């Protein structure tokens, strides 16, 4: 099917309409750009993501982790449980030319001098204790030239601002030198002022970057505001205790923050929930792009749930047809311009002048604005949905179709999976979208295949068994898919009897491959959604798999990546066939043992589906999660037989795409079934050595069939300025979008290279980016002893560390089960930005004050919830904490937590139970328990895409505490992996080495 065959873009060879950029570009330099083509980044990436680089270790010196007590050292504090030891991926870093510096984190305020303002004299020298050497962090000279990158800019003297140093964590304090007070200018709107010098140090976390300052115009140029932080780092010679106060390091305790400049500079852009750029400043040249060492791309979430409950406006052009550019096929949008009294409109993508049809004509006012613009959402909104006419269809719209392929072997029956699945499907039948057109069918399997005739004229379903696995055929092909409304009573009878039908089954075999082929034969006429429930390693017929991944010697060798890819090409070929016939696959995998998620997940990966993994599933413990996630899968609005394309302006082209889809052509993504929980990422490059436009436009178009049978096109349009200054690119960076690209690229790299190589690639790109930014300002501002980073990327080092410690990338053989590693990797490839960042850096919330002291009003009670960094030292033995990574809750009880409150919450004496895993977490008949359940419910409702089961852990509960919570405290040293402070020190050393 080629529903968007008419969307072939034309060659974008015409100059774009000049648009005034909201950024003030630097004057052109004397050296012309002469690069003949795209300059590959020096980080080892190729067109498909990562390219192998020279082996290197991703951590700094491996040092044994010191014992970390929970909370402040006090009486009755206990020794931390020794967490599972990850194989060290650390390697000593060669020493620098001089002795290491020492100091504390600093977050300077921005400072812009006025014209003619005198610089302050250097402060008096610090009087340090004899045993601690002085830190090389002197003040700037009396006058400093502007950065060399702006060679043609007028020169101006900038005042030196002395710095104040944190004391080392020693018994003897070090006197601090007070900062010189200055009078900052107000920043000028719309421009960037000159970069500030090192500002007063020693600000607390709340005070970070709260001081902004600007300057008046300098000469003929408006001042350029440069916002950056500098962090003074180092170690005391002869000691492993770092000279950084960990409490002052930046942390994303509030989660994802949407980029504000994206909408402020271009208010007609679509909401960033739908479309996010890794930087909202496009480089003007290949040479500039070569200095941007982070991914250059976008994250697209086309069906995201509308912000603030606002629906995307629906536009129906009627008989006149959808208004599109006749050359590049761009849809009319807020950035097109009208001329010739409204009879022509110019495409913002390719600049072609198009005719306005009589049905769409409207007069222009004095400003060349259509007089009916307020009645035209497509000209005022960045996101719209068009009703597609018949020309966008190659067949009648398909009905919503759900086909269930269910494992009924002994493992599925005894775990309770079969019973939970049957009951959940029945409970959702009334809410399946598309009624009365909805189609449904079932096939069960163990060592044989079981088809079910559910014709409406029957009172009970008829089972037909096929035991020949080598020559699959479909009995009664016309009666295996039925209209749900017509056969509802037969479907209900089948689901009621399904658990008892196989309750005595002792068959341990799985003919999954033949069952998959049979399901394809049933569905290929209409397409639809195939839901697979698999609990046993496929063992019979085509697609049978073997146990692998249990040999630790494979890790660290060239054979390691093969463990994370499908063993049998049957699965990828089946995925291609399923996609061709508009069949999307969602896989629900359950097992106590290895089930080869790497192979099963391929079915979801290439059909735009998803994989849900339930290790060691027990219906009594995990049934609620399965019920919620299956019900959401069945009842959420789905876009059927969809295709998606991203268009972009002249001089830019998309090169790689990342997520769950099948690439039908060079830029057309095939998505048989897509919904609001799925996001995609893409990288783009410059086609030309030098961009001639001032603005680059992007447009995402998703053509799909709604459950009601209507063909729709959802369109998101955005614009971004073209800049000539690397500093602008860093200032407008979006760390959430960057981490989304980083995560997908790193996981894809693990399919071809070792885990160590994937970790190294991420780290080296971070180091090179910070080095490049440092080179812009370090010399001019005498910041040799500091780690410099822009405000927009202050969380990048921590998110990078969290990614390296995440399940798909962490450690080696002993640090994550192979199935769990692969399942989490498939999940990450689908995640929107907000959910991904929460998975990388989860919330850790102290809730005991909320339960005991907070008023019943939920809004007033928010002040009693305290988010803390992910480090064991922040766990108070007297407290109660809730860990939330978006996929699960962990309720951690401190060893000194009040036992009466714990009994009210759990219904048992927590100290009398050696194993808390069997406690049923539910509401009790008391006020505190109800408050906790309401809090948990509120957190779940904030993100209904997953159901977070609550795991209860007590401090000192050795194995469970370590495997559930301690191993996920990313700021701590875990095995050979660095903690946050050591990671910052290591990044700083590597930046200085390569500077």
Other beta carbons within 10 angstroms of residue 97's beta carbon come to 6
Say how far apart CA 438 and CA 281 lie, in whole Å. Answer: 46
Contact 841, 970 (CB under 8 A): yes
Q: What's the rounded mean pLDDT across residues 456-477?
A: 92
799: tokens are 């998110």
Q: What's the rounded mean pLDDT across residues 433-447?
A: 95
Cα dihedral across residues 985, 885, 596, 634: positive or negative: negative
Q: CA 643 → CA 1, 277, 601, 607, 705, distances in Å?
A: 10, 21, 21, 11, 10
Say how far apart CA 788 and CA 197 lie, in whole Å. Answer: 11
Burial code (b: 16+ CB inside 10 Å, e: under 16) for 535-572 equals bbbbbbbbbbbeeebeeeebbeeeebbbbbebbbebbb
pLDDT of residue 246: 81
3-state secondary structure of 924: coil
pLDDT higher than threshold 70 for residue 80? no
pLDDT higher than threshold 70 for residue 471? yes
158: tokens are 């900038």
Question: Which residue in 61, 66, 68, 64 sits closest to 89, CA to CA?
Answer: 61
- Looking at the DSSP bridge assignments, the partners of residue 592 are none
The fraction of the chain above a pLDDT of 90, given in percent, is: 62
Indicate the pLDDT class of residue 552, thresholds 50, 70 and 90. confident
pLDDT higher than threshold 60 for residue 131? no
Q: What's the rounded mean pLDDT across residues 651-660?
A: 96
Say how far apart CA 590 and CA 414 lie, in whole Å. Answer: 12
Q: Strand 695-705 vs strand 462-466: parallel, antiparallel, or unpaired?
A: unpaired
Q: What's the rounded mean pLDDT across residues 532-550?
A: 93
pLDDT of residue 780: 62
pLDDT higher than threshold 60 for residue 194? no
3-state secondary structure of 463: strand
Please report the DSSP string for 602-627 in residue order. Answer: HHHHTTT-EEEEEET--HHHHHHHHH
Q: What is the pLDDT of residues 812-847, one digit of tens each?
A: 888 999 999 999 999 999 999 999 999 999 999 999
Say how far apart CA 806 and CA 759 lie, in whole Å. Answer: 10
| Burial environment of residue 786 by CB neighbours within 10 A (0 to 12, 13 to 18, 19 or more) | buried
3-state secondary structure of 654: strand
Task: Look at 167-176, 284-293, 349-358, 689-698 and tell me which has the smallest mean pLDDT.
Answer: 167-176
- Looking at the DSSP bridge assignments, the partners of residue 588 are 533, 612
Tally of residues, the chain: 995
pLDDT higher than threshold 50 for residue 209? no
Indicate the pLDDT class of residue 116, thresholds 50, 70 and 90. very low
Q: What is the pLDDT of residues 903-916, one digit of tens each?
A: 999 988 887 787 78
pLDDT of residue 409: 95
Contact 665, 4 (CB under 8 A): no
pLDDT of residue 783: 62
**In what side-by-side order are the strands of the sheet with 297-300?**
275-277, 297-300, 680-686, 652-658
Say how far apart CA 584 and CA 669 lie, in whole Å. Answer: 13
Helix axis angle, 488-501 relative to 417-428, nearest 10°? 170
For the chain, the straight-line distance linking the first and the last C-alpha, in angstroms and rounded, comes to: 53
Contact 820, 807 (CB under 8 A): yes
Question: Which residue in 531, 771, 776, 486 sits closest to 634, CA to CA?
Answer: 531
Contact 21, 693 (CB under 8 A): no
pLDDT higher than threshold 70 for residue 486? yes
pLDDT of residue 860: 67
Cα dihedral across residues 482, 487, 493, 496: positive or negative: positive
Q: Strand 662-663 vs strand 610-615: parallel, antiparallel, or unpaired?
A: unpaired
pLDDT higher than threshold 60 for residue 154? no
pLDDT of residue 134: 34
pLDDT of residue 779: 62
pLDDT of residue 778: 66
Which superfamily does 408-636 belong to? Answer: von Willebrand factor, type A domain (3.40.50.410)
Task: Give the start-to-end residue ranges of the domains of the chain.
Answer: 316-377, 408-636, 842-969
Q: Is the peptide bond before 436 cis (omega within 30 degrees of 0)?
A: yes
Q: Can you give the C-alpha Rg of the chain in angstroms?
A: 30
Q: Strand 482-483 vs strand 439-445: parallel, antiparallel, or unpaired?
A: antiparallel
pLDDT higher than threshold 60 for residue 219? no
Q: What is the pLDDT of residues 853-880, one digit of tens each?
A: 888 766 667 889 999 999 999 999 999 9
pLDDT of residue 334: 97
Q: What is the pLDDT of residues 317-373, one digit of tens each?
A: 988 899 999 999 999 999 999 999 999 999 999 999 999 999 999 999 999 999 999
pLDDT higher than threshold 90 for residue 21? no
Question: Which residue in 676, 720, 695, 658 sits closest to 278, CA to CA?
Answer: 720
Other beta carbons within 10 angstroms of residue 169's beta carbon come to 13
The fraction of the chain above a pLDDT of 70, given in percent, is: 74
Say how far apart CA 224 and CA 272 lie, in whole Å. Answer: 26
Question: What are the phi and psi torsion angles at 27 (to 5°)?
Answer: -65, 150
Q: What is the pLDDT of residues 948-981, one digit of tens each?
A: 999 999 998 888 899 899 999 999 998 778 999 9
Task: Look at 11-20, 331-340, 484-493, 884-893 and tell me which has the smallest mean pLDDT.
Answer: 11-20
pLDDT higher than threshold 50 for residue 709? yes
3-state secondary structure of 526: coil
pLDDT of residue 995: 54
pLDDT higher than threshold 90 for residue 196? no
**What is the Cα 118 distance to its own chain's centre?**
47
Task: Look at 1-10, 122-131, 509-518, 826-835 and tell me which has the smallest mean pLDDT.
Answer: 122-131
pLDDT higher than threshold 80 for residue 600? yes
What is the DSSP secondary structure assignment for residue 327, as one 8-state letter? Answer: T
Contact 725, 776 (CB under 8 A): no
Residue pointed to by tokens 């019943």 = 856
**What is the Cα 604 distance to its own chain's centre?**
18
pLDDT of residue 243: 59
Mean pLDDT for the chain? 79
Q: CA 885 → CA 615, 662, 825, 917, distances in Å?
A: 17, 29, 15, 19
Question: Which residue in 53, 31, 271, 312 sits closest to 834, CA to CA?
Answer: 271
- Domain 842-969, classified CATH 3.30.470.20, yes or no: no
Contact 45, 51 (CB under 8 A): yes
pLDDT of residue 435: 87
pLDDT higher than threshold 60 for residue 17? no
Q: Where do runs of H (alpha helix) occur along 805-883?
A: 818-828, 833-840, 848-853, 858-861
Question: Which residue in 158, 295, 292, 296 sits closest to 776, CA to CA?
Answer: 292
Which CATH number is 316-377's, of 3.40.50.920, 2.30.30.380, 3.40.120.10, 3.30.300.170? 2.30.30.380
pLDDT of residue 230: 61
Indicate the pLDDT class of residue 83, thresholds 50, 70 and 90. very low
Helix axis angle, 796-804 relative to 833-840, nearest 10°? 70
Contact 650, 350 (CB under 8 A): yes
295: tokens are 């991914």
Q: CA 879 → CA 201, 420, 891, 892, 992, distances in Å?
A: 33, 36, 11, 8, 41
Indicate the pLDDT class of residue 227, thresholds 50, 70 and 90. very low
Q: What's the rounded mean pLDDT across residues 788-815?
A: 93
Indicate the pTM of the whole model: 0.78
Cα dihedral across residues 836, 837, 841, 843: positive or negative: negative
Please report the DSSP string for 40-84 in residue order. Answer: --TT---TTS--------SBS---PPPP--SSSS-TT--PPP---
3-state secondary structure of 592: coil
Say how far apart CA 560 and CA 553 lie, in whole Å. Answer: 9
pLDDT higher than threshold 70 for residue 546? yes
Task: Tell me the helices (H) and strands (E) count for the chain, helix number first.
Answer: 21, 30
Say how far apart CA 43 and CA 680 lie, in whole Å. Answer: 23
Question: In the Cβ-directed half-sphere of 716, how many Cα atoms lie within 13 Å?
Answer: 21
Q: What's the rounded mean pLDDT across residues 154-180?
A: 35
Please report the DSSP string for 538-574 in residue order. Answer: --SSTT-----S--GGGTTSTTGGGGGS-SSTHHHHH
């Amino acid at each position: 099917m080629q529903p968007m065959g008419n969307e072939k873009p034309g060659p974008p060879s015409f100059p774009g309409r000049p648009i005034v950029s909201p950024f003030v570009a630097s004057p052109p330099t004397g050296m012309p750009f002469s690069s003949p083509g795209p300059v590959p980044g020096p980080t080892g990436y190729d067109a498909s993501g990562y390219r192998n680089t020279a082996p290197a270790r991703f951590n700094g010196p491996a040092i044994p982790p010191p014992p970390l007590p929970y909370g402040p050292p006090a009486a009755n504090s206990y020794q931390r449980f020794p967490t599972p030891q990850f194989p060290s991926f650390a390697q000593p870093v060669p020493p620098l030319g001089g002795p290491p510096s020492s100091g504390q984190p600093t977050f300077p305020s921005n400072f812009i001098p006025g014209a003619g303002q005198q610089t302050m004299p250097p402060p008096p020298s610090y009087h340090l204790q004899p045993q601690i050497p002085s830190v090389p962090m002197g003040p700037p000279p009396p006058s400093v030239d502007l950065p060399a990158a702006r060679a043609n800019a007028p020169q101006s003297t900038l005042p030196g601002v002395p710095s104040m140093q944190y004391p080392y964590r020693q018994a003897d304090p070090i006197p601090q030198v007070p900062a010189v007070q200055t009078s900052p200018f107000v920043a000028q709107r719309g421009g960037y002022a000159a970069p500030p010098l090192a500002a007063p140090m020693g600000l607390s976390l709340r005070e970070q970057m709260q001081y902004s300052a600007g300057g008046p115009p300098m000469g003929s140029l408006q001042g350029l505001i440069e916002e950056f932080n500098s962090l003074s780092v180092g170690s005391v010679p002869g000691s492993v205790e770092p000279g950084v106060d960990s409490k002052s390091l930046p942390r994303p305790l509030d989660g994802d923050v949407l980029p504000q400049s994206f909408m402020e500079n271009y208010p007609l852009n679509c909401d960033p929930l739908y479309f996010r750029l890794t930087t909202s400043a496009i480089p003007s040249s290949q040479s500039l792009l070569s200095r941007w060492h982070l991914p250059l791309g976008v994250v697209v979430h086309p069906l995201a749930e509308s912000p603030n409950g606002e629906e995307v406006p629906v536009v129906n052009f009627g008989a006149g047809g959808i208004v599109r550019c006749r050359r590049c096929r761009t849809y009319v949008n807020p950035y097109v311009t009208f001329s010739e009294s409204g009879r022509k409109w110019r495409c913002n993508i390719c600049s072609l002048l198009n005719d306005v049809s009589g049905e769409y004509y409207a007069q222009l006012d004095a400003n060349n604005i259509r007089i009916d613009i307020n009645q035209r959402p497509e000209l005022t909104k960045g996101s719209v949905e068009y009703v597609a006419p018949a020309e966008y269809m190659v067949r009648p719209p398909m009905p919503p179709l759900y086909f269930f392929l269910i494992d009924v072997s002994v493992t599925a029956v005894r775990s309770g999976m079969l019973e939970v699945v049957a009951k959940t499907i029945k409970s959702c039948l009334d809410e399946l979208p598309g009624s009365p057109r909805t189609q449904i069918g079932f096939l069960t399997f163990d060592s044989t295949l079981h088809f079910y005739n559910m014709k409406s004229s029957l009172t009970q379903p008829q089972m037909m068994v096929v035991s020949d696995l080598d020559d699959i055929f479909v009995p009664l092909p016309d009666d295996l898919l039925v209209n749900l409304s017509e056969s509802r009573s037969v479907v209900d009878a089948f689901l009621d009897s399904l658990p008892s039908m196989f309750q005595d089954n002792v068959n341990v075999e799985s003919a999954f491959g033949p069952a998959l082929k049979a399901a394809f034969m049933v569905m290929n006429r209409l397409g639809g959604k195939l839901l697979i429930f698999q609990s046993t390693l496929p063992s019979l017929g085509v697609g049978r798999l073997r146990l692998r991944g249990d040999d630790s010697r494979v890790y660290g060798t060239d054979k390691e990546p093969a463990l994370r890819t499908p063993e049998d090409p049957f699965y990828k070929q089946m995925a291609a066939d399923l996609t061709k016939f508009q069949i999307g696959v969602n896989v629900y995998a359950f097992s106590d043992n290895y089930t080869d998620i790497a192979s099963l997940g391929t079915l979801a990966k290439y059909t735009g589906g998803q994989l849900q993994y339930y290790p060691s599933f027990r219906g009594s413990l995990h049934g609620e999660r399965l019920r919620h996630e299956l019900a959401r899968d069945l009842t959420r609005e789905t876009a059927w037989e969809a295709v998606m394309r991203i268009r972009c302006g002249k001089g830019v082209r998309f090169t790689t795409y990342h997520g769950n889809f099948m690439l039908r052509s060079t830029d057309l993504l095939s998505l048989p079934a897509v919904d609001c929980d799925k996001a995609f990422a893409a990288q783009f490059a410059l086609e030309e050595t030098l961009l001639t436009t001032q603005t680059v436009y992007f447009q995402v178009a998703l053509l799909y069939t709604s459950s009601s049978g209507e063909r729709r096109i959802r369109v998101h349009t955005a614009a971004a300025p073209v800049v000539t200054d690397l500093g602008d690119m860093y200032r407008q960076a979006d760390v959430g979008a960057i981490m989304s690209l980083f995560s997908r690229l790193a996981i894809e790299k693990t399919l071809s290279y070792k885990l160590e190589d994937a970790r190294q690639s991420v780290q080296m790109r971070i180091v090179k980016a910070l080095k490049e930014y440092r080179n812009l300002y370090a010399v001019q501002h005498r910041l040799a002893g500091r780690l410099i980073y822009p405000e927009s990327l202050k969380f990048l080092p921590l998110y990078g560390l969290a990614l390296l410690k995440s399940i798909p990338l962490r450690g080696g053989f002993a640090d994550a089960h192979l199935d769990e590693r692969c399942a989490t990797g498939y999940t990450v490839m689908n995640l929107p930005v907000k959910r991904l960042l929460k998975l990388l850096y989860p919330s850790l919330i102290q809730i005991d004050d909320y339960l005991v002291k907070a008023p019943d009003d939920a809004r007033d009670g928010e002040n009693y919830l305290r988010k803390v960094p992910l480090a064991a030292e922040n766990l108070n033995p007297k407290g109660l904490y809730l860990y939330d990574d978006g996929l699960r809750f962990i309720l951690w009880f401190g060893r000194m937590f009040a036992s009466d409150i714990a009994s009210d919450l759990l219904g048992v004496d927590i100290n009398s139970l050696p194993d808390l895993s069997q406690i049923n977490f539910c509401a009790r008949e008391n006020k505190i328990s109800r408050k906790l359940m309401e809090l948990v419910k509120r957190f779940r409702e904030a993100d209904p895409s997953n159901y977070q089961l609550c795991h209860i852990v007590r401090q000192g509960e050795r194995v469970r505490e370590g495997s559930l919570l301690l191993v996920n405290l990313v700021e701590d040293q875990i095995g050979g992996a660095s903690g946050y402070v050591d990671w910052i020190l290591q990044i700083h050393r590597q930046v200085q080495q390569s500077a």
